[in-house]
Chains A and B, each alone.
Chain A
């Protein structure tokens, strides 16, 4: 399919657990386990799940910041995992990332102009003057002005600092921007401004976003398609309407019902409160990984057999025995 910007196939990212004096491998944290998904050009793909579900590891694998154990990642028609050296560096221009806490992503000892200049210096041969002009242009794009060029990050508010991070991510005209909890550390009214900006930039520049967040309100507002992850696996994937209006996987159902809502009166009767805790990814449950907490457990099959994704419609797949025909 040529519409795909990113196609991930059977991706596994295992982190070895070493112990003892010789550092023998005693087990693996299966952070991402057999994940298959694709991100279309120009869409906002939302990835939701709780901590430890593998959202960020998946994003880091796409950025090749961690080496996958097996599987393939095709980025813009190129097999990413076969790339080495300068072709890889070249390809990396096309993928950028914005993290949760802007003050940790910015160097407190560098002025804004120099931080935005870093990617330009690494990938282009611009003169100092051209770099300054480009930085100034980028700041305008994200709603800041030239005066911010010469400031340090401590002189910025949280919202302004996140705008600088977005400007830096856009410096090389990337195709894919990974947004890892881009508004989670910001106050509500600032969050709204940053989301407006991200949406506007996406329209103007034709960007593709991979939006990782645990804030389901943000995903429902922004995303075209959504994938719900649980313990390293995809529980469900579909368009935002499918997933939010009619969640199929018991975990998505519980997750959506658990969010305290602002725009409706609370209703304890419809809320599903899951039992127990999220199991450890070092020793995940057998069969369906959700079976230990599932409110719709149907029997031994859940405990013994891994469900695998069932296709329900051209846009929608669910990994649950309830939907196996």
Chain B
């Protein structure tokens, strides 16, 4: 079902990850599968604790010590990252795959100048270049993220920059190695709305100019609609639906996707009672058998409690993991 051709950049297959804690085993990721083509932006969407960040850490092999990858493959540029040696992995991490985190202030070291931090990264990627050449390169990277007066910014400490400028510096560091994949974990959540719009526009321009692939991790569905080509909806450690962004919003199929999209508050719902998904996210110490959404699902059939539904193609490039897809048309397209 997943085209495995030259276009494919990252493909995660049946990834199962458990965390061992003093209270027992957390079944965090349950057969996660998705893929990203070259130049594609994939949005990984879900609520707190559904495994979005665990998935991205698994791709970078940065999972904490108590995590165990039980099975699965992570194919990136033709190699299985799960079988690479730590040395090889260190060469991929940062160079081929970069990461942008939510809070730019905590991603930068407060006691070093911005220039120093950017140069540190560049020295690793271009060990043969001299200081002068690297300084010029650093300024180029900062200009690429549309920071005015790159030369002056190099001499500033992170606290002298606003949140939006800090995030631009982080993006410059992430781009310093010319990676092919960027994992952006809630890149605009910590920023104000008008600054968020600036960063969003910048991400779009950079993506087009550099042909980047982006794995965007977020719970902000508005952001997804703006930036993503494809969306993967995640619930309690499983991917429940994957489709092109227009399809997800026009015609969501999985009951969880529908529930999630129904609960987004907008002014057009004024005067109506808001929809919500009854019940609570299950504990991953003892997740429900079968489909993990079944205790909260209004469309549950007996099969849902028995075996886990696989992602199946319901229309071209639209995959849904559900035994009983709702038949009524979607009300909010």
Binding site for B on A (CB under 8 A): 50-51, 157-158, 187-193, 195-196, 214-218, 220-221, 240, 244, 254-255, 258-263, 265-266, 268, 271, 273-274, 277-278, 293
Q: Are A277 and B270 in contact (CB under 8 A)?
A: no
Q: Are A190 and B266 in contact (CB under 8 A)?
A: no
Pick the contact of A273: B198, B261, B269 (CB < 8 A): B198
Determine if B222 is an interface residue (Cβ-Cβ < 8 Å). Answer: yes
Q: Are A274 and B263 in contact (CB under 8 A)?
A: no
Centre residue among A50, A214, A221, A274 by max chain B CB count within 10 A: A221
Known interface pairs A188-B219, A189-B260, A196-B276; A262-B164 also in contact (CB < 8 Å): no
Q: Are A271 and B197 in contact (CB under 8 A)?
A: yes
Q: Which residues of B contact A263 (CB under 8 A)?
A: 264, 266, 268, 332
Determine if B194 is an interface residue (Cβ-Cβ < 8 Å). Answer: yes
Look across to chain B and name the residue whose beta carbon is closest to the beta carbon of A260: B222
Q: Are A214 and B192 in contact (CB under 8 A)?
A: yes
Q: Which residues of A contact B246 (CB under 8 A)?
A: 265
Complex Cα gap A244–B193 (Å): 16
Look across to chain B and name the residue whose beta carbon is closest to the beta carbon of A251: B194
Determine if B102 is an interface residue (Cβ-Cβ < 8 Å). Answer: no
Complex Cα gap A244–B197 (Å): 18
Q: Are A191 and B265 in contact (CB under 8 A)?
A: yes
Determine if B143 is an interface residue (Cβ-Cβ < 8 Å). Answer: no
Q: Which residues of A contact B63 (CB under 8 A)?
A: none
Complex Cα gap A158–B48 (Å): 11
Could you give, for residues 94-114 of chain B, a 1 whenever the CB lies within 8 Å of some chain A CB and a 0 otherwise? 000000000000000000000
Q: Are B249 and A262 in contact (CB under 8 A)?
A: yes
Determine if B47 is an interface residue (Cβ-Cβ < 8 Å). Answer: yes
Binding site for A on B (CB under 8 A): 47-48, 162, 164-165, 192-198, 200-201, 219-223, 225-226, 246, 249, 259-261, 263-270, 273-277, 280, 332
Q: Are B200 and A189 in contact (CB under 8 A)?
A: no
Q: What's the minimum C-beta distance from B114 to chain A, rounded to whole angstroms?
A: 16
Q: Which residues of A contact B332 (CB under 8 A)?
A: 263
Complex Cα gap A117–B263 (Å): 33
Q: What's the minimum C-beta distance from B132 to chain A, rounded to whole angstroms?
A: 31
Complex Cα gap A244–B268 (Å): 11
Q: Which residues of A contact B263 (CB under 8 A)?
A: 188-189, 191-192
Pick the contact of A196: B47, B195, B223, B274 (CB < 8 A): B274
Q: Are A196 and B273 in contact (CB under 8 A)?
A: yes
Pick the contact of B197: A158, A193, A214, A274 (CB < 8 A): A274
Complex Cα gap A256–B192 (Å): 13
Q: Which residues of A contact B267 (CB under 8 A)?
A: 216-217, 220-221, 240, 244
Q: What's the minimum C-beta distance from A12 to chain B, rounded to whole angstroms?
A: 24
